[in-house]
Amino acid sequence: MKKPPKRSARVEPPDNPRVVALAYDGLCTFEFGIAVEMFGLPRPELPGWYDFRVCAVERGPLRAAGGLTVRADGGLETLADAGTVIVPGWRGVDAAPPPSLLAALRAAHARGARLLSFCSGVFVLAATGLLDGRRATTHWRYAAALAARHPRIRVEPDVLYVDEGTLLTSAGSAAALDLSLHVIRRDYGPQVANQVARRAVVPAHRDGGQAQFIPSPLPEHGESLGTLLEWMRRHLDRALPLAELAARARTSERTLLRRFEAATGRTPRQWLIEERLARARELLEGSRLNVEQIADRCGYGHADSLRHHFRRALGLSPMRYRERFGHRTPSPRHAVRP
């Protein structure tokens, strides 16, 4: 029997495909280049691609690292119809963003725009106040400074990027590629994201020593695995043995292990340990449940197991963590390193 022809990627643009990257005096050339490469490069093979613009934060000339000068498409008014705004680094950790920029970013976010930061660009988003009470990341060199200056932000120093819905932050420099591919994957699907990654000659999904908070399913089995991951998150209080997971995924245990590790970089057991720890941290920070109740809800079985995992991963007991990071206690001054 003749095999049906392989279907090409079907591109459906996001509701608002306008992507605006900020340009400022002292521009980080590498991070800005990533924004252009990922979102601004013409891709005739992908109809309905992003509509890329450059926004000048201030009047020129706008000098970039390496002796370059950037000419923007317009000023802060360019953000008025943006669907996504990118802050490609910032000119210095100690450099205060202009109030006009902060106001424009808040207004864009209120209208529904996504705000992305690359590397030190998180300090601009932090100054808007929009990241308060949310997770964020930045280059490991700046993580302690971010936590100290913005104690209401839950700094995650050991990840490549953090997705908080309409607020997304990436770690140092090259992690901007990981975040950009994640956004493309969200907007157009994994097949298109892989195609963009191949053209840029970069991995579509990178793990290494830093765990990514957002798993990236492989296109062949992405939907079924993504559904399984969401189901697992909703049932962290259960034992979730591999046999049950394989049955839900309608595959063998060996096949599930292979696909799971390929998509997330971890075994189901490792993934569950991290998810349970993250959920326990959320409950310690924002609920009145005691340690025993939190252990039960997160699938640890008893409080001693929860204490063990907390000390092993964070170097703190659950109660000590609550004292330092709970909403009813003074804000933390330092980042916790998992």
Tell me which of 338 and 217 has the higher pLDDT: 217
Beta strand segments in 179-290, E: none
Q: How confident is the model at residue 331 (pLDDT cuts 50, 70, 90)?
A: very low
pLDDT for 31 equals 96
pLDDT for 6 equals 39
pLDDT for 81 equals 94
What mean pLDDT comes out for the span 238-267?
86
Whole-number percent of the chain with pLDDT over 90: 49
Nearest-angstrom CA–CA distance, 121 and 86: 9
Longest dimension (CA), the chain: 69
- Return the minimum-mean-pLDDT range out of 84-88, 99-103, 127-131, 194-198: 194-198
| 270-325: CATH, from 3.40.50.2000, 1.10.10.60, 3.40.50.720, 1.10.287.70 | 1.10.10.60
Nearest-angstrom CA–CA distance, 329 and 332: 9
Whether 103 shows a pLDDT value over 50: the answer reads yes
The reported pTM is 0.61
pLDDT for 214 equals 36
What mean pLDDT comes out for the span 314-320?
86
Question: How many angstroms from the chain centroid is the CA of residue 26?
Answer: 25
Whether 30 shows a pLDDT value over 50: the answer reads yes
- Domain limits, the chain: 18-200, 222-265, 270-325
- Return the minimum-mean-pLDDT range out of 6-15, 23-32, 90-99, 113-122: 6-15
Counting runs of H as helices and runs of E as strands, what totals does the chain give? 13, 10
Q: pLDDT digit string (tens) for 137-170?
A: 998 889 889 999 999 999 988 788 888 989 999 9
Q: How confident is the model at residue 12 (pLDDT cuts 50, 70, 90)?
A: low
pLDDT for 3 equals 42
pLDDT for 219 equals 37
Nearest-angstrom CA–CA distance, 242 and 114: 37
Q: What mean pLDDT is reported for the chain?
A: 83
Of the candidates 204, 206, 190, 170, the one whose C-alpha atom is nearest the C-alpha of residue 88 is: 170
pLDDT for 325 equals 67
Whether 337 shows a pLDDT value over 60: the answer reads no
Whole-number percent of the chain with pLDDT over 70: 85
Instruction: Please state whether beta strands 68-70 and 167-170 pair in parallel, antiparallel, or not at all (unpaired).
Output: unpaired
pLDDT for 206 equals 63
Whether 24 shows a pLDDT value over 90: the answer reads yes
pLDDT for 19 equals 97
Q: pLDDT digit string (tens) for 180-239?
A: 998 998 888 877 888 898 888 887 666 433 433 333 333 344 446 767 887 888 899 999
What mean pLDDT comes out for the span 98-110?
97
Q: Which residue has the tokens 């119809």?
A: 81
Backbone angles phi, psi at 95, to 5 degrees: -85, 115
pLDDT for 209 equals 33
Architecture category of domain 18-200 in CATH: 3-Layer(aba) Sandwich (3.40)
What mean pLDDT comes out for the span 80-96?
94
